[in-house]
Structure 1
């Protein structure tokens, strides 16, 4: 079978030349690497292919970690509507690799396309519940007979809900965090195996414990404050963190290549004072996504907590750079953080006896946030200590003229 020849795989038509599959729910475009995986498994005719064999075939000139392969397999299953626990197409063979279990039949390029069918809901009555299975959505709902039929969330609406939840979560206020929590729960009501929603809910539950406490009376901004308060050790907090950990772990099992799930797990382990486990989770997130600035920020605090403050500044500097590259695509999440991260780097450089580097970082913050009072005051202090009194006073006057407050140097 040629790698360019269309073929049938049960009810699915596969067109490798245009990276498209068409099944009962309609056409789906695949990433080239995902299509390459599907063709490679199809050519194996049901035989198991090891992870090493697949990596060598798909990435012949690169060293690929297991997460990249796992994520590619996950994307293929998502496109096929397959379930790793009860596979129809791609089977995981424990300790060996993967194989295609759906029969493959080569076909000519002029073969007629598969006609999408309207999926039918399969209704099953039990003693207390009506279970509605929506083909292709992996949605299971249980309702008492007396309850009106539930309208499922469409895939586009699920994506919109996740974006909205992430937007609320990124504000780091108690009310926004609670709103995010409820939106993640709504998605999970419809799609219990949505890795993004599981990771988001784990994050929101963890932030609730760290920042505000389970009674909502605390007002903390860092994990360090939370650990020093002793509240993380209470039975209620430990139970809440255990629930969050279970959600994050489930997300990593569903999608091992989900960087945010590993970052969430890292924060939870750090809140449980399991610093080595937290570091492993953060490192995993950064292997998957080297630009994950949130994991870098969390890891920088962990390094300080575990007795390695000298590593903080470098991690925060990397985070600042990654945020600069990602800002245009993700301003809502980045804006509350970037100035504070840059200021932290500047202060750490100053404390380390590197005033020139501190000055550079204060100026970098002001280039993005021109009226940041802390950056103006920090830079003015550095200039004054270096003998540039005139420059320090000019900065303060500019801030005061713009209504940014007094320097108080």
Structure 2
């Protein structure tokens, strides 16, 4: 479908034949699908093209869902350093589609510029660091919070600082901190009503208020499963609160379809509303956008348990553990409190399934990272005793107690 003629788009020289664009800082090679999207929008001369029209043009012989298109738009914005909230190049037209804002002009042949491959975000219009706080609906009391780049979310320094502070409060998962986070997210939205990050954060905090503490603040729950079993989630007040959170999360996904945290927030509130199919779709989309999003994996793992698929729960937790391991060097403060807990959850699930060798492996993996973890020592000791290695189990317990790590359950 692609025209091969090079054209100028603002500061960018676009060469479809070579899958490259060249800007002031050098050249970037685009994925073919991303270049096809750019050319298709350029040929529309500023007119809106619907998502269905774009999908038919880019994938004429295949049936694709919205995830593929959202991801392709996100990649194009990432390379251009574009901002979904105040775009210069690619505008999202609510409920209609996308259009290209920049004027297109033909260019003469020009010398080629050495390329830089697209990997981490390049040519960003401004430095962007947004702290993502993960929702705690798994077997853990918290799923953790990891600072990540959201290339399509950009704002001024004051807004970023407020977002960072709000996310920090939210990640503590106490009632007072959650309420403080809500107030800080409201301050961000007063400055920037279209902040997808703040909308998603507010949706998360409102949903957590219902799940963990209840609207009267008297509950003390740590998982969505407990909240659903309490029956409180079905009350009229709870449903009204969740409906508000749902609207906030959905608005965040419409403002920035490439924002993984927004989709994760939508997944949480849909799960709290017992709409498990919609929750799963939202979490899946978050993982399409960010395959390393260990928070979405943890949340999805509880959803699988709720819907009768514990085998998938163990697999998702194992994947989240591996993703956290890869992310640990960049986010040790966020990951350290939860890394061991996820590994322990996998070990317990393997033990419950009668997979003694796998359980032993996971207990040892936890101990390799957290040598005095009493739960891991106790679990491993139990596995060793069951296999006949009583001496090995006793040695583990003595080592734990000698180091002041607590008593080993026997």
TM-score when scaled to structure 2?
A: 0.74
* Residues 209-220 of structure 1: pairs in structure 2 closer than 5 A: 209-220=210-221
Report how far residue 173 of structure 1 moved.
Answer: 2.0
Residue matched to 1:164: 165
- How many Å separate the matches in 2 of 1:391 and 1:340? 23
Moved more, 42-51 or 235-244: 42-51
Write out per-residue CA displacement over residues 221-261 of structure 1, whole angstroms, 9 at most, x where no aligned residue. 11111111111112221111111100000011011121111
Residue matched to 1:70: 73
- How many Å separate the matches in 2 of 1:346 and 1:244? 34
Residue matched to 2:334: 333
Structure 1 residues 212 and 6: CA distance shift in structure 2, 3 A: same
- How many Å separate the matches in 1 of 2:92 and 2:171? 37
Report how far residue 18 of structure 1 moved.
Answer: 7.9
Write out per-residue CA displacement over residues 27-65 of structure 1, whole angstroms, 9 at most, x where no aligned residue. 9x9996789965764466557775248747xxxxxxx81
Q: Which stretches in structure 2 are left out of the alignment for 5+ residues?
A: 15-19, 60-66, 111-125, 127-153
- How many Å separate the matches in 1 of 2:282 and 2:302? 14
Write out per-residue CA displacement over residues 241-293 of structure 1, whole angstroms, 9 at most, x where no aligned residue. 11110000001101112111111111111111111111111112122222111
Residue matched to 1:348: 349
Report how far residue 343 of structure 1 moved.
Answer: 0.7
* Residues 189-200 of structure 1: pairs in structure 2 closer than 5 A: 189-200=190-201
TM-score when scaled to structure 1?
A: 0.74
Structure 1 residues 332 and 247: CA distance shift in structure 2, 3 A: farther
Query: Secondary structure of the residue that 1:365 maps to in structure 2?
Result: helix
- How many Å separate the matches in 2 of 1:31 and 1:201? 37
CA contact (8 A) 1:5 1:109 kept: no
- How many Å separate the matches in 2 of 1:80 and 1:175? 33
CA contact (8 A) 1:241 1:272 kept: yes
Residue matched to 2:209: 208
Structure 1 residues 332 and 91: CA distance shift in structure 2, 3 A: closer
- How many Å separate the matches in 2 of 1:395 and 1:265? 44
Query: Secondary structure of the residue that 1:220 maps to in structure 2?
Result: coil
- How many Å separate the matches in 1 of 2:279 and 2:4? 46
CA contact (8 A) 2:41 2:100 kept: yes
Report how far residue 5 of structure 1 moved.
Answer: 6.9
Residue matched to 2:403: 402
Structure 1 residues 93 and 173: CA distance shift in structure 2, 3 A: closer
| Equivalent residue pairs, number | 351
* Residues 118-129 of structure 1: pairs in structure 2 closer than 5 A: none
* CA RMSD in angstroms, aligned pairs only: 3.6
Residue matched to 2:382: 381
Query: Secondary structure of the residue that 1:376 maps to in structure 2?
Result: helix
- How many Å separate the matches in 2 of 1:310 and 1:35? 40
Structure 1 residues 329 and 88: CA distance shift in structure 2, 3 A: closer
Query: Secondary structure of the residue that 2:357 maps to in structure 1?
Result: helix
- How many Å separate the matches in 1 of 2:238 and 2:408? 41
Structure 1 residues 88 and 406: CA distance shift in structure 2, 3 A: closer
CA contact (8 A) 2:82 2:89 kept: no
